[in-house]
Amino acid sequence: MRVFFLLAQKAFRRNLQYRASHVVTNIASAIFGFIYIAIWQAAAAGTGTADYSATVLPRYIAFNQAMLWITIFRQHGLGIPEAVATGAVSLEMMRPVDYHAMVVVRELGNVWYSFWFRTVPLAAVFALAVGMHVPQRPSTYALLPVAVGLAAYVGLCLHYVAGLSAFWTIQSRWSNQLLQAAHFGLSGFMVPVDLLPGALAPLAAALPFAALQYYPTRIYLELSGAEALVWPFVWSILLTLLCRAMTYAARRKLEVQGG
Amino acid sequence: MAALRLYAQLVSASLRAQMQYKIDFIVSTFLDAIFQAVDFVLLAAIMLRFPEIAGWTLYEIGLLYGMSWIAMSLYRTFAPELHNFDRYIVQGNFDSLLIRPWPTLMVLLSRNLELRKIGGALQGALVFWFSASHLLRSGRLEWGEVAILIGLSVTGTLIPFALSLATAACSFWIVRSGDLQTFTMYAPITASQYPLSVFPGWLRALLSSVLPVAFINYVPVQYLLEKGGSAWSLVSPPVVSALCLIAAYSLWRLGERRYHSTGT
């Protein structure tokens, strides 16, 4: 157990070295947030929909913009494709530590850093601009950390699957692009999933991408209760199994690039 | 003239090189298309719920959206190395451009032409056409006006190009300019897909002055749809584009003279 903790801690500390350059990307991220917030404010001006009033929608977008840093903005394939390309992966797999757990834990250190140095400051900036929803129900304070934790974890699983695909395809950026596109359209970070047109709404609600953004936000804004944890929970289990199976297969498939 | 001929030769060599990787080309083009389709579906999803954004209908915003994508994609097609320029400075590869007897910018632009990005312009043109034909039928636009907008979409590509050139030139001073691109390119271009009037004052001012993406589409479209502006709105976009280009190229020349290679 201690080795996992150390891995996460090292990843966290490495990030600390780049704090200054991260400020720049944080500002850029805030500007993107303001653009999306402004669009929704104009669209929902006055009317809004049943769940999403003109005050709720900007807060919905703001919360999602802050969440992006712990869900989708991970390093490309969790660094696996690079290790596959250089052959370093063979050494990593040789270590007496479970490969899947090692990669996930290493990235958890980055997630933890992103949470404190990106998500929290961004949320604070947006709160100044559009106000902050303060949850009223006591249960929300129990559900929200679970939902955010599951969002980060499902995000890690999806990135792991995309990264591990590098064992079979040489161009791993394809799977990464596909993941980004699916997140872009189906996670609800830009348009709440239930506002998507036609059959897309129920479909997106049942896919793992909604667990990254849509469900945690619903819980935060108290539009949903514990039922919003069902899909994220189901997906965290299914994806964990998939990650295990793929790790097993990758181990068999491992080819070392000669040189 | 000789420079132009050389440019054509270098471009064709670069395209032939890329075509050696056919599957990569096909899959990448396909993925770009998916990404852009998702982008439009999201816009349509917003518009289905709320028929108007700041008084603009889906068709009217479609014009902005299409023009923005055409301008951005043309730039991405013809200047991919400019888009990822900072690695030339980081790795010291800029030296190899300097030893050729041609302008560095020309050599740079002849490399790795990303033909697949032209798909973005086609999809942009499709959305533009879908919107324009509706506005033509309902009498909001005339054929001559549509022709003007098509022309301006093409000259509009100079604006992202100039912004990118200026950002790349910054690498001569600050070395890494990749993060800067989010401010100077991605955010403004995303904003340009929507009417400028939805944004807060400070952002509006920024997007029509230092980062003048408003001149790609909003300024002329707003005037032609009789939402404001003056006849000057049709003249200013190409003028602003040209001025941007001159300013950016001056900055590039200035930076180039300042360049010193990385030590090894």
Q: If you measure CA to CA, which chain A residue comes closest to B186? A: A32
Contacts of B197 in chain A (CB under 8 A): 42
Contact B38 A185 (CB under 8 A): yes
Confidence of residue B18 (pLDDT cuts 50, 70, 90): confident
Dihedral sign computed on CA atoms, order A13, A18, A24, A25:
negative
Provide mean pLDDT across the span B110-127: 86
Contact A181 B38 (CB under 8 A): yes
pLDDT of residue B27: 83
- What's the rounded Cα separation, in Å, for the pair A177 and A76? 10
pLDDT of residue A126: 93
Picking from A18, A37, A39 by the largest number of B CB atoms within 10 A of its own CB, the best residue to mutate is A39
Name the CA radius of gyration of chain B, rounded.
19
Query: For residue range A35-63, what is the model confidence (pLDDT) as tens digits?
Result: 999 998 888 887 777 788 888 889 999 99
pLDDT of residue B132: 94
Picking from A191, A194, A209 by the largest number of B CB atoms within 10 A of its own CB, the best residue to mutate is A191
A–B CB contacts, 8 A cutoff, strictly below: 86
pLDDT of residue B260: 80
Smallest CA–CA separation between A157 and chain B, in Å? 22
Angle at B27 between CA A81 and CA B185, to 5 degrees: 80
Contacts of A21 in chain B (CB under 8 A): 179
* Domain layout of chain B by residue ranges: 13-258
Extract the tokens encoding A217.
Answer: 């936000």
User: Is pLDDT above 80 for A20?
Assistant: no
Residue B50 touches chain A, beta carbons under 8 Å:
yes
Query: For residue range B188-198, what is the model confidence (pLDDT) as tens digits?
Result: 999 999 999 99
Q: What is the ipTM of this complex?
A: 0.87
Smallest CA–CA separation between A222 and chain B, in Å? 22
* Domain layout of chain A by residue ranges: 2-253
Instruction: Count how many residues are written for chain A.
Output: 259
Smallest CA–CA separation between B128 and chain A, in Å? 20
* Range from A72-76, B84-88, B143-147 that averages highest in pLDDT: B143-147
Nearest to B194 among A21, A32, A39 (CB): A39
A173 vs A61 pLDDT, higher one: A61
pTM of the predicted model as reported, rounded to 2 decimal places: 0.88
User: Is pLDDT above 80 for A172?
Assistant: no
DSSP chain B: -HHHHHHHHHHHHHHHHHTT-HHHHHHHHHHHHHHHHHHHHHHHHHHHHSS-BTTB-HHHHHHHHHHHHHHHHHHHHH-HHHHTTHHHHHTTTHHHHHTSSS-HHHHHHTSS--GGGHHHHHHHHHHHHHHHHHHHHTTSS-HHHHHHHHHHHHHHTHHHHHHHHHHHHHHHHHS--TTHHIIIIIHHHHHTTS-GGGS-HHHHHHHTTTS-GGGTTHHHHHHHTTSS--THHHHHHHHHHHHHHHHHHHHHHHHHHH--PPP-
Picking from A31, A34, A122, A180 by the largest number of B CB atoms within 10 A of its own CB, the best residue to mutate is A31
Query: For residue range B75-112, what is the model confidence (pLDDT) as tens digits?
Result: 999 888 888 888 888 888 888 888 888 888 888 888 88
pLDDT of residue A259: 47
Contacts of B191 in chain A (CB under 8 A): 35
Contact A195 B45 (CB under 8 A): yes
Residue B90 touches chain A, beta carbons under 8 Å:
no
Smallest CA–CA separation between A74 and chain B, in Å? 16
Contacts of B203 in chain A (CB under 8 A): 34-35, 38
Name the CA radius of gyration of chain A, rounded.
19
Closest CA to A71 of A140, A165, A159, A190: A159
On the 0-12 / 13-18 / 19+ scale of CB atoms within 10 A, B51 is exposed
Contact A35 B191 (CB under 8 A): yes
Dihedral sign computed on CA atoms, order A81, A84, A87, A90:
positive
- What's the rounded Cα separation, in Å, for the pair A192 and A38? 16
